[in-house]
Amino acid sequence: MDSRSTEHFQRIYASADDPWGFGSSPYEREKYRRTVGMLGDRRFASGLEVGCSIGVLSRMLAERCERLLGLDIVEQPLAAARARCEGMPGVAFRQMRVPEAWPDGRFDLLVFSEVLYFLSPADIDRCAARALGALAADAVVVLVNWLGTSDDPCSGDEAADRFIAATRGTLRVAARDRQPGYRLDLLRGLGG
């Protein structure tokens, strides 16, 4: 199955401003708390969040990053993300279809939250290669994947396992948190 199209997400956001309840769901709030908690007390020079949607997690990550770039495949949710993070220095958002496009720069934090399973296995491999090429020294990568059943190209487990396999030899799983409904994986360099 091919990766989900831009049109797929345009239709979803045309039907609702917050189609997954990121801003209102206790489940999402707890998942975000655990995601940020995996980072410990560390601060980051430059973060990249792929699939930022309306910016709920972005706001939390921005408090830990000197600079944060949030990407989404469609423009609709980015207006809400910009409004949510207004006044936060160093935070920017761009429409970009990953892995076909990728931002310039090096990042010491890369977050793929609820996005990898929308990609085909081949695009997950390309995404992993892009990520490896953008890692700063001592970078960490956080994968967040929903574990429910869907007709997406991959399940959450398949997506996470594929990304981890594609980065093996450069990154290792340093922490894992499996909860009802989702899994979190924190990857870091082999020496870290």
The answer to the question of residue 97 being in a domain is: yes
Give residue 192's pLDDT.
Answer: 65
- pLDDT tens sequence across 16-50: 888 888 888 999 999 999 999 999 999 999 999 99
Task: Please determine, for residue 94, whether its predicted confidence score (pLDDT) is greater than 80.
Answer: yes
Kindly state the percentage of the chain with pLDDT values over 90.
91
Domain, as residue range, for 67: 6-189
Q: Mean per-residue pLDDT for 56-85?
A: 97
HSE (side-chain half, CA atoms, 13 Å) at 172: 6
- CATH (domain of 109): 3.40.50.150
Q: Mean per-residue pLDDT for 43-72?
A: 97
**Alpha-carbon span 191 to 118, nearest angstrom:** 31
Contacting residues for 43 by C-beta, under 8 A, at least 6 apart: 64, 65, 66
- What's the predicted TM-score (pTM) here? 0.96
- pLDDT tens sequence across 125-170: 999 999 999 999 899 999 999 999 999 999 999 999 999 999 999 9
The answer to the question of residue 101 being in a domain is: yes
Domain count, the chain: 1
The answer to the question of residue 1 being in a domain is: no
The answer to the question of residue 114 being in a domain is: yes
The string of DSSP letters for 63-108 reads TTEEEEEEEESSSHHHHHHHHHTTT-TTEEEEE--TTTS--SS-EE
